[in-house]
Structure 1
Amino acid sequence: MTVRTFAAAAAGFGRDLDESFATISSLLERARAAGADVLALPEAALGGYLSSLHDDPEDVPPQLDVDGPEIRRLIALAGDTVVTVGFCERGDGASGDRPYNSCVAVTGDGVLGHHRKVHQPLNENTSYAAGDRFAAFDTPVGRMGMMICYDKAFPEAARALAVDGARIVVCMSAWPASRTNPASVLADDRWTRRFDLFDRARALENQIVWVSANQAGTFGDMHLVASAKIVDPGGEVLDTTGTEAGLAVASVDVDATVDAARRFMGHLRDRRPASYLGTPDDAPPVVPAVAARAS
């Protein structure tokens, strides 16, 4: 039995990188005090998200490099803890020099995984280039996948990670409340409810441990919904911050919990890829995780 403790942060982050690192250091200290093996930070925790989705050329987060000094600083802070964080990644020739909305997972040993946000809401494509893939990677706590915010609205994204062997998926967001019809109570806002529903559905349909971090408070013209949480493979919320800033913390024996969820109703095992629109008939079958580890 190997129990892992996950911490998911709901916190606000702006443009000042030193302030961002001060907040990260504080959250990391609190996560370690709770025994966390993993700390998930929100989308754009290094340098802040867009203050508006109205194509403001003056609203540019600092552009960072995966192998740059800021990520090295995070690596130095992480130590034995797996830390995931979102940031604005400097563009390249393939992106037409537009930056990417990216995230990394690190420990003190270096970068474990890197993801560029694939799905872009509203006018985000005028500020960021899109990523083009979802891939799982190995970490000290197990095989993990990452996605960013709107990625989780697409079942194919989480399914691709689960098929690639991820038993833990971390989703980092800067998810706001509704701007067109906001609720007077943030917990009742339709976009808060959708945020929570996506988290639970993605965990349940793939029978994985789901770790969801989100920005909190306000930034520009957005009111962020917080609602960081850890969800088990049955879609049950183990802990949540609600609509307040804070840390959601929960301990899970990942392999035992995932194996138990998949033992009889194995959603990956029981797929029929040839029946799905656009899926080739020769798509490889998914080997049940229990059998795969036993072989």
Structure 2
Amino acid sequence: MFRGSQQPNEIKDNHRRAISFIREAATSGADLAVLPEYHLADFFPSHDSAIRQQCANWKTYLNAYCDLAKECNICIVPGSLGELHDDNTLVNAAYFIDNNGEIKGKYEKKNLWHPERPFVKSSKNDSRHVAFDTPLGKVGILICWDLAFPEAFRELIMQGAKIIIVPAFWRYSDASEVGLKRNPKSEGAFLDAAVVSRAFENTCAVLFCNVAGPASEGFAGLSQVAMPFLGCVDKFNNSDEGMRIISLDMNILEEAEVAYKIREDMATPDWHYGYRQ
């Protein structure tokens, strides 16, 4: 799990550092490397338009990560990429790349954070949340603000997902002035509670990888992994850039299902909510 220090005007350097961390993870025996949302740049209109225009080169970076995954024999979720399409729409997309360099699935963010909405296209109802078959089993990908919607997790769990990966660009300052007055660290409380809750209520592993950056600019960090029974398995407690290798015992998920029977209940014909496994 890697947290990138996102610097909007240094896309090539951000990419170079990401590659360095992934190589280090692979050398250490990691099976999966995860980067944050918008890890190359956030591409907001307030930034240099030339930086945003580099979204048109998203395939170059995606192909580079595919080549790297094959070379290093490691699965990669390269955070999310801003994709500028021919119709000038911008999509916030995340991919699962297996250790052979093959793309096993793509997810386009549905639940956009408020500042994204004027210029990023949401997938909305164009497609379902889809769990992918990967060398690590069934995996689902969500992005940042999707974490606030339990329904997104349920849709992936109904398809058999055991791991949910959530690249994010989440800051303390997202609470707005009102929230910050109530509690300057309220977003930290939100993240810690939501990540652990989603793991327990879905008997799944949740891998939350957040962007790093200066604390003075509201960056929270707090990248973490959660499992049922264990709660938070490991966590960055600050917003500094770094990498951490975390080992997960996936047998815990089966043990949790025996105890909670979440998936079993969802699979019954008379399941009383408006969705079925």
Q: State the TM-score, normalized to the length of structure 2.
A: 0.84
Q: Give the CA RMSD over aligned residues.
A: 2.6
Which residue is 2:81 aligned to?
Answer: 87
Aligned AA (2:60): P
Runs of 4+ in structure 1 over 4 Å off: 57-60, 181-184
Residue 211 in structure 1 maps to residue 202 in structure 2: no
SS of residue in 2 equivalent to 1:252? coil
Displacement after TM superposition at 1:142 (Å): 1.3
Which residue is 2:17 aligned to?
Answer: 23
Aligned AA (2:191): F
Which residue is 1:261 aligned to?
Answer: 256
Q: 1:192 aligns with which of 159, 174, 188?
A: 188
Displacement after TM superposition at 1:143 (Å): 1.1
Q: For this pair of structures, how many residues does the alignment match?
A: 261
Aligned AA (1:82): C
Alignment gaps of 5+ in structure 1: 1-7, 287-295
The structure whose RCO (Cα within 8 Å, separation 6+) is larger is 1
Decide whether aligned partners of structure 1 residues 65 and 197 sit closer, same or farther in structure 2, where only a CA change above 3 A counts.
farther
**CA–CA distance in structure 1, aligned partners of residues 121 and 235 of structure 2:** 31
Residue 275 in structure 1 maps to residue 272 in structure 2: yes
Displacement after TM superposition at 1:138 (Å): 1.1
Q: 1:233 aligns with which of 219, 222, 228?
A: 228
Displacement after TM superposition at 1:182 (Å): 7.7
Aligned AA (1:275): H
Mapping for residues 119-158 of structure 1, pairs under 5 Å: 119-132=111-124, 133-158=128-153
Displacement after TM superposition at 1:90 (Å): 2.2
Aligned AA (2:106): H
Alignment gaps of 5+ in structure 2: none
The answer to whether the 8 A contact 2:6-2:213 is kept is: no
Mapping for residues 30-69 of structure 1, pairs under 5 Å: 30-46=24-40, 48-50=41-43, 56=46, 61=52, 62-64=54-56, 68-69=59-60
SS of residue in 2 equivalent to 1:238? strand
The percentage of counterpart residues that share the same residue type is 21
SS of residue in 2 equivalent to 1:269? helix
**CA–CA distance in structure 1, aligned partners of residues 145 and 262 of structure 2:** 23
**CA–CA distance in structure 2, aligned partners of residues 92 and 112 of structure 1:** 24
Aligned AA (1:147): L
Aligned AA (1:69): T
Which residue is 1:10 aligned to?
Answer: 3
SS of residue in 2 equivalent to 1:109? coil
Decide whether aligned partners of structure 1 residues 222 and 126 sit closer, same or farther in structure 2, where only a CA change above 3 A counts.
farther
